[in-house]
Amino acid sequence: MPGANRYRSHNLVLLSFFSLTCLFQTSCGDTGEQRTSFKMAVSAPDDMGTDFENDLGWKVVLDSASVVIGPIYFFSGEPLFSMSRLLDWLDPIPTAFAHPGHYVAGEALGQVLDQARIDLLSEMPQVLGTATGVTGLYNSARVYLKPAGDDTYSVLVTGTATKDQDHVSFKGELDVEIKLEGLPCGIHVEPGKAGGMVMFVDPRIWLKRVDFSTLAGPDQDGYMFFEKGTSNHSAFSRGVDNAGAFSFSWK
Amino acid sequence: MLPKTSMVTLNINLVLFVLLMPVGRGETKTVSNSTPPVLKKFVKAEYPRSAVQDKVEGTVILELHVDKEGKVSRAIVIESVRDDVDRAAIEAARRFRFQPAMVKGIPVGSVVRYESSFVLPRDNKQTGERKKQRKKKTIGYGKAEAAGNTGKPKPGSDSDSIAEFTQVVKGRRPPRAASDWRIEVSGRLDPGTVSPGRLLAMAPGLHVAQHGGVGKAQRIFLRGFDAVHGQDLEINVEGIPVNEVSNIHAHGYADLNYLIPEVISSMRVIEGAYDPRQGDFAVAGSVWIDLGLKHRGLTAKAGGGSFGRARALIAWGPRGEPDATFAAAEYARGDGFGPARSWNRAAAIGQYVLKISPGTNLKLLATSYTGRFASAGVVKEEDYDNGIQGFYDTYDPHQGGLSVRHQAMAAVEHESNGSRAELAFHAGYRELRLRHDFTGFIFEYRPIDNPKERGRHLGDLTEQYQEGLTLGGYGSYAKEVRFRGGTYALEAGFRFRHDRADQSQKRLRAVDQEPYWDEIEAKLAVTDIGLYLDAEARPSSWLRIRGGVRFDTLSYIVNEPMEYYGKGNRRDAQGVHIGPKATLEFVPGHGLSVFLCYGNGFRSPYGIALSQGERTPFVTVHAGELGLRWRLGDWLDVSAAGFFTHVAEDLVFDHATGRYLYSGATSRAGTTVSAKLRPLDWLYAFLSGSYAYSVLDETGKLLPYTVPITFRAGMGVKRNLTVLWGHELSISARLIADVIGPRPLPYSEETNTVFLLSADFGLTWGDLELSAEAFNLLDTKWRDDEFAYVSNFHNNQETPSLVPDRHFTAGRPITIMAYLTWHVF
């Protein structure tokens, strides 16, 4: 196979040689990327514990954190906020973008069409399904969180929040479809690469800006909840919608 | 009994060093110490009995190699009629004796071309008229007839007993390259050529696919180019361009379905861009199709076969007129080999050649065609694998189209001593409506200005419509001069065409096929004026030098009235392209010719993609070729060529969106080989193969969708069996194998190799002919075309697949047709 990265017309002799060589082979060269498939798993971040403190000083202990994920798509388009943008900021030699500030997904390179409920407090990554696609740089991802099957929610989190003398048993639940666009991925999927992709979902970010003292409730199960239309529901929704809660790694 | 002659006219022209253009009336001028060969002994050819009984007429063109003793050392068939007729012409020609050509008083070898015409006898009156006519100039390129010996027909004889034999000299354009093919089509149609576009596949290395139904232009592949529907292959019929500039469906769209296969007499296919006459779209090559009807008199043909196919043809070639004068009409229909594949068409073609003065002919041509067809579209490979979709199924039965073409041409040709001029004008009306759905529910547009349809999934069914008018013409003047023992020829010519087109593209709702979004609305006016200069020098018997230049100016006016909120957007652009061409031909003898060629060709830009004031960005191709042709006697004819092409800024067609995308520079290299073998009088064989290696310069990666390997081999028999009730019974049969090698697809995939076996069979008895043809004898399930793109045919909005998948269009299963032909009179 000709390995030329750059090809110029003056390489007539080279091309002719390769063409003659290839004449006697059933297959010679390729058209670029290759089809591939790999396992896709979902997990909470490695440093995830069951307790943490949010921005408003609430100490939160999670009893459960579930999310219904899928499908997931991977694109060639650069995400809005990625490490490369950060590097661009640190190294401010201007880079031209036709429409800075607008995410352009570009070509779809991979996808996981399965949907599954993922327990984020599980100690092991849970397999979402098999991703299919083509090799290349998966720059960004589109992730859907939406109710499916018996799961009437897309995101469900329960736990206890403590601040000073206040102890709140809470339940956060979203029953709508959430489309997360342009999530930074930055993984180069290569043919025959061992391992699979893991998507980390950090439920701590969902509750980062929640003031648990103003939750509604309790409901029939005794949980205080995020009433739609309230600032806390909005803070929870924005937390779920926060791209920072999602990251990708190849393991 | 076969009386040999009625009229014989002979003129031998020294074509010693001039094959580019016709030469004069057989003068034997002495120029610069050189003299051409002069015929001293003429031998009349015998009209083969079998040809008379078959009522076969035609003209054999021979290239005679005259040695320095004046003997014919070799006779090469340049244009064939059929085996027995060719042999008769050769046998006679080999017995000619010449006074050899002389240079500075020394005898030298020379090459002479002459034409041997076999014409069946008429009644006395007709024959007399023909004799008068033959004393005038004949028609067609390069013909130069001379007065000569005139035989006399047997008074009162009929066509079974008297043969008329004429010989005239004819100069044809010599090949510009080893891969400059002239293919005689008449009577040699391939099985399955009920679709005329498939005729193109008779050229070595040229592959066509039919992914849009019988009635849509074929997808063409040649020399590593995916010419889509014609963007890289220039096609002319009797000099009229077929490619449609900036057609809404595909640039250079070349719909040949308006042609009736039986009236196609020959094709010249040049692979490469080495001839200055080649213009727009001549990137991979050019095709010139000549029309003519060999059988004189009235012919009726009807037949039918698999999948409801039926076809009726009536053709008339007035006796006493040249093959180029004829009229024909056909009607054909079929149910198709699966859902959404029915079609029907009607076509009529008439051409008349009128001799208006000695050496001057007027040619009039008119064609009319309408065809309607359904199209099954694609099948997603995954759906077929999972049993969701059958191999011949369709997702959307509303695909298809209607195609209309009417055109007329008037041409005047004049030949005089050593010069030739032609002038032609043509006009054509074209209408095309296509509906296709390659994607299902991917690109559907949800109108925000119609609340009722907001959020609904309306589908990707797309309607494309084009209505256009083409006016054009061409002219040329050719002249030869002789200088210092060499012969030099010069031809200057022009071609122009002006196209006006209204085009639109709409999305249609899946539920009721009503339009819900106007994607494109455009009016185009495109003018192309091309000038060319072509020269040839033959300074010695072993060297021919040809070269020239083509200069084109293209202008565009594009009006998109829907743009800018209905205020419209009008823009214009103009640019020029200059394309030099050159060919060196070495003729070392022993039937061998070696060609070294270079050519610069171009493709015009796609109209609606142009910006205001843009210098029209031509796609420029540089093509080079080294090839040889070798003819060994009458039983072996071989050609082989290695080629290289470079395209500066190539365009690739995205079938899913119907848009062109720039791919950057591309290069191709490969080879084409062709051989014809005739080991026995009644047995012949042929094979051709091509290999093309096509890459993107930027990455060195293979170009997807090209056809790297084609291979065709076949053999046939044709012989007389017996005489039955006073009429000869003859049989012909042929078997053809086609192989299409693995084609590269995106993502380093490739298609499966396709192997197809076809056959035809004919039984002729007197004026009746029974023929049958079978396509895909092994009933292979084969993919005629394959694509990789994103689709969503099942309207899955929950988890739609966004990664490109493989799709295919199903190839035709075994198809058998049978015809009965009656040469009425």
For chain A, domain boundaries: 1-30, 32-250
Contacts of A106 in chain B (CB under 8 A): none
Q: How far apart are alpha carbons A192 and B260 in whole angstroms?
A: 54
Q: Give the mutation candidate from A17, A23, A31 for the B interface (greatest B CB count, under 10 A).
A: A31
ipTM score for this prediction? 0.78
Q: Do A111 and B704 touch (CB under 8 A)?
A: no
Domains recognised in chain B with CATH numbers: 13-172 (3.30.2420.10), 196-823 (2.40.170.20)
pLDDT above 70: residue A91: no
Indicate the pLDDT class of residue A25, thresholds 50, 70 and 90.
very low
Contacts of B691 in chain A (CB under 8 A): 19, 22-23
Of A19, A71, A111, the CB nearest to B669: A19
Beta bridge partners of B181: B269
- Look at B744 and A29; give whichever has higher pLDDT: B744
Average pLDDT rounded to a whole number, residues A3-30: 51
Mean pLDDT of chain B: 83
Indicate the pLDDT class of residue B170, thresholds 50, 70 and 90.
very low
**Contact in structure between B217 and B255 (CB atoms under 8 Å):** yes
pLDDT score, position A81: 54
Closest CA to B225 of B623, B759, B528, B757: B623
**Which tens digit of pLDDT belongs to each residue from B132-144?**
344 333 322 233 2
**Which tens digit of pLDDT belongs to each residue from B731-775?**
999 999 999 999 999 888 899 999 999 999 999 998 899 999 999
pLDDT score, position B41: 81
* Buried/exposed code over B767-787 (b: 16+ C-beta within 10 A; e: otherwise): bebebbbbbbbeeeebbbbbb
- Look at B610 and A114; give whichever has higher pLDDT: A114
Contacts of A4 in chain B (CB under 8 A): 700
B685 CB neighbour count, 10 Å cutoff: 15
Residues 77-136 of A with CB under 8 A from B: 108-111, 113, 115, 132-134
pLDDT score, position A80: 63
Average pLDDT rounded to a whole number, residues B47-67: 80
Of B667, B746, B804, the CB nearest to A7: B667
Indicate the pLDDT class of residue B464, thresholds 50, 70 and 90.
very high
Counts for chain B of helices (H) and strands (E), in that order: 4, 46
pLDDT score, position B16: 29
Nearest CA in chain B to A14: B669
Contacts of A108 in chain B (CB under 8 A): 790, 802-804
**Contact in structure between B46 and B88 (CB atoms under 8 Å):** yes
**Contact in structure between B377 and B388 (CB atoms under 8 Å):** no
- Using alpha carbons only, how large is chain A's radius of gyration in Å? 23
Q: How far is CA B455 from CA B118, B448, B451, B519, in A?
A: 72, 9, 9, 18
Average pLDDT rounded to a whole number, residues B525-530: 96
Burial of B724 (0-12, 13-18, 19+ CB in 10 A): exposed
Q: Do B700 and A73 touch (CB under 8 A)?
A: no
Contacts of A20 in chain B (CB under 8 A): 671
The answer to whether A28 contacts chain B (CB < 8 Å) is: yes
Of B642, B750, B802, the CB nearest to A73: B802
Q: How far apart are alpha carbons A31 and A46 in whole angstroms?
A: 39
Q: How far is CA B244 from CA A93, B231, B466, B524, in A?
A: 48, 9, 10, 12
Closest CA to B79 of B184, B176, B199, B170: B184
pLDDT above 70: residue B674: yes
Q: What 3-state DSSP class applies to B609?
A: helix
pLDDT score, position B174: 78
Average pLDDT rounded to a whole number, residues B492-503: 97
**Which tens digit of pLDDT belongs to each residue from B775-797?**
999 999 999 999 888 899 988 87
Q: How far apart are alpha carbons B668 and A15 in whole angstroms?
A: 8
Indicate the pLDDT class of residue B518, thresholds 50, 70 and 90.
confident
Q: How far apart are alpha carbons A51 and B746 in whole angstroms?
A: 49
Average pLDDT rounded to a whole number, residues B244-268: 92
Q: How far apart are alpha carbons A144 and A70 in whole angstroms?
A: 5
The answer to whether B644 contacts chain A (CB < 8 Å) is: yes
Of B646, B692, B702, the CB nearest to A29: B702
Q: How far apart are alpha carbons A96 and B108 in whole angstroms?
A: 72
The answer to whether A15 contacts chain B (CB < 8 Å) is: yes
CA distance B383 to chain A (A): 16
